[in-house]
């Protein structure tokens, strides 16, 4: 949420300082971007802000000493927020409406809050990491015309300027969403191409969220406790750190403190992918980056843990519809 945080000396701190979401004018770049690190007596904040017409992207890492804050919304922006809580746990209360928002790791929702004044509490010492996309209200309303039951119902509330979430319960951030977020963070284009790329990726994120809420929550979960979820998240992190020499399912279950049933089914619930489907996606995304950097195909296969160049080439072609040797030429 784009908000201002009040410290213990009662001074308002503007954390996100967003650029105006208007059309690029003379002398104004097509995409405006700012990266900054700010230290207050109550904690350290690292933010990246990207603004293009009708879209504002902000993501960051908050390492806070104080756990409770008085907050208020920034005036003048009527926006719909795609909210992705990546790490950390917290609660935000809107005293205007009485609504409460709980943020937990790896959950997402779509939020509209026309008026906000309230407080927040961060419930652990872990850093709070987030990613948000803010659409201007007119642009969002145009995007979601005739897009299905979930967004249509949400748009009706937005049209009435009524506070709303797309889902009563937030859903797990899928691998496709994580990959889309990473694509935005790693964008290497500039000028008009960067604007076009970021617009497309933000709309893709909206589409992925809408699809997830259309499907709804699965009826039965293999993850019955917070610890179960933590084990699966740790398993994903372990896989990412051992991409070239991954463990077996049994080994990964033991390493992450769970059993193979919860590992397989919990991984599917949290990340909408199998364990080794996720590993293969990570390998191929890394391979694509290495190829873009000019690394030879054989070296890419070795560095991403494939047993042979042929096996790597087959997997790469299947995912990206082009052989790795021709990828950088296409």
Is 239 contained in some domain? yes
The stretch 117-129 carries a mean pLDDT of 75
Answer with the one of 215, 237, 271 that is the final residue of a domain.
Answer: 215
Answer with the one of 181, 215, 249 that is the final residue of a domain.
Answer: 215
Is 267 contained in some domain? yes
Is 220 contained in some domain? no
Q: How confident is the model at residue 203 (pLDDT cuts 50, 70, 90)?
A: very high
Residue 28 has a pLDDT of: 65
> How do residues 279-293 score in pLDDT, each as one tens digit?
888 888 888 888 888
Exposed, middle or buried by CB within 10 Å (0-12, 13-18, 19+), for 78? middle
Same domain, 149 and 231: no
Same domain, 152 and 205: yes
> How do residues 127-150 score in pLDDT, each as one tens digit?
788 999 999 999 999 999 888 888
Same domain, 192 and 248: no
Average pLDDT of every residue of the chain:
82
Same domain, 202 and 300: no
Same domain, 274 and 252: yes
Q: Which domain holds residue 203?
A: 3-215
Scanning the structure block, which residue is given the tokens 């917290």? 90
Residue 292 has a pLDDT of: 86
Residue 131 has a pLDDT of: 96
Taking CB atoms within 8 Å and a gap of at least 24, the contacts of 73-78 are 73/1, 73/2, 73/3, 73/4, 73/113, 73/115, 73/116, 73/117, 74/2, 74/3, 74/4, 74/14, 74/16, 74/18, 77/2, 77/18, 77/21, 77/134, 77/136, 78/114, 78/136, 78/137
Q: How confident is the model at residue 125 (pLDDT cuts 50, 70, 90)?
A: low
Handedness of CA 244, 245, 246, 252 (dihedral sign): negative
Is 191 contained in some domain? yes
Number of structural domains the chain divides into: 2
DSSP summary character for residue 282: H
Is 29 contained in some domain? yes
In order of 86, 99, 114, 115, 163, the CA distances from 157 in angstroms are: 27, 15, 11, 14, 7
Q: Phi first, then psi: give them for residue 45, nearest 5 degrees.
A: -130, 130
Residue 13 has a pLDDT of: 37
Is 181 contained in some domain? yes
Give the list of residues 6+ apart from residue 277 with CB closer than 8 angstroms, or none. Answer: none
Give the list of residues 6+ apart from residue 219 with CB closer than 8 angstroms, or none. Answer: none
Answer with the one of 163, 186, 215 that is the final residue of a domain.
Answer: 215
Looking up residue 164, the CATH number of its domain turns out to be 2.60.120.10
Same domain, 111 and 52: yes
């Amino acid at each position: 949420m784009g908000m201002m945080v009040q410290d213990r000396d009662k001074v308002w701190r503007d954390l996100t300082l967003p650029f105006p979401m208007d059309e690029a004018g003379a002398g104004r770049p097509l995409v405006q971007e700012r990266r900054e690190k700010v230290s207050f007596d109550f904690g350290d904040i690292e933010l990246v802000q990207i603004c293009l017409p009708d879209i504002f992207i902000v993501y960051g890492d908050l390492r806070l000493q104080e756990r409770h804050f008085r907050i208020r919304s920034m005036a003048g922006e009527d926006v719909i927020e795609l909210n992705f809580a990546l790490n950390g746990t917290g609660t935000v209360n809107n005293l205007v409406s009485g609504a409460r928002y709980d943020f937990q790791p790896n959950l997402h929702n779509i939020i509209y809050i026309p008026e906000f004044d309230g407080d927040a509490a961060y419930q652990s010492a872990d850093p709070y990491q987030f990613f948000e996309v803010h659409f201007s209200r007119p642009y969002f309303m145009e995007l979601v015309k005739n897009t299905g039951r979930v967004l249509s119902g949400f748009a009706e509330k937005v049209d009435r300027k009524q506070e709303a979430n797309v889902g009563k319960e937030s859903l797990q951030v899928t691998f496709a969403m994580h990959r889309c977020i990473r694509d935005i963070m790693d964008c290497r284009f500039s000028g008009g191409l960067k604007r076009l790329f970021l617009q497309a990726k933000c709309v893709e994120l909206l589409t992925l969220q809408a699809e997830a809420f259309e499907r709804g929550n699965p009826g039965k979960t293999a993850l019955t406790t917070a610890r179960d979820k933590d084990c699966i998240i740790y398993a994903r992190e372990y896989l990412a750190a051992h991409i070239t020499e991954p463990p077996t399912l049994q080994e990964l279950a033991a390493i992450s403190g769970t059993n193979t049933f919860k590992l397989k089914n919990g991984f599917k619930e949290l990340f909408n992918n199998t364990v080794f489907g996720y590993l293969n996606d990570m390998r191929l995304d890394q391979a694509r980056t290495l190829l873009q950097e000019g690394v030879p195909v054989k070296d890419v296969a070795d560095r991403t843990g494939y047993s042979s160049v042929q096996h790597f080439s087959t997997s790469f072609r299947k995912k990206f519809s082009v052989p790795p040797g021709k990828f950088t030429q296409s």
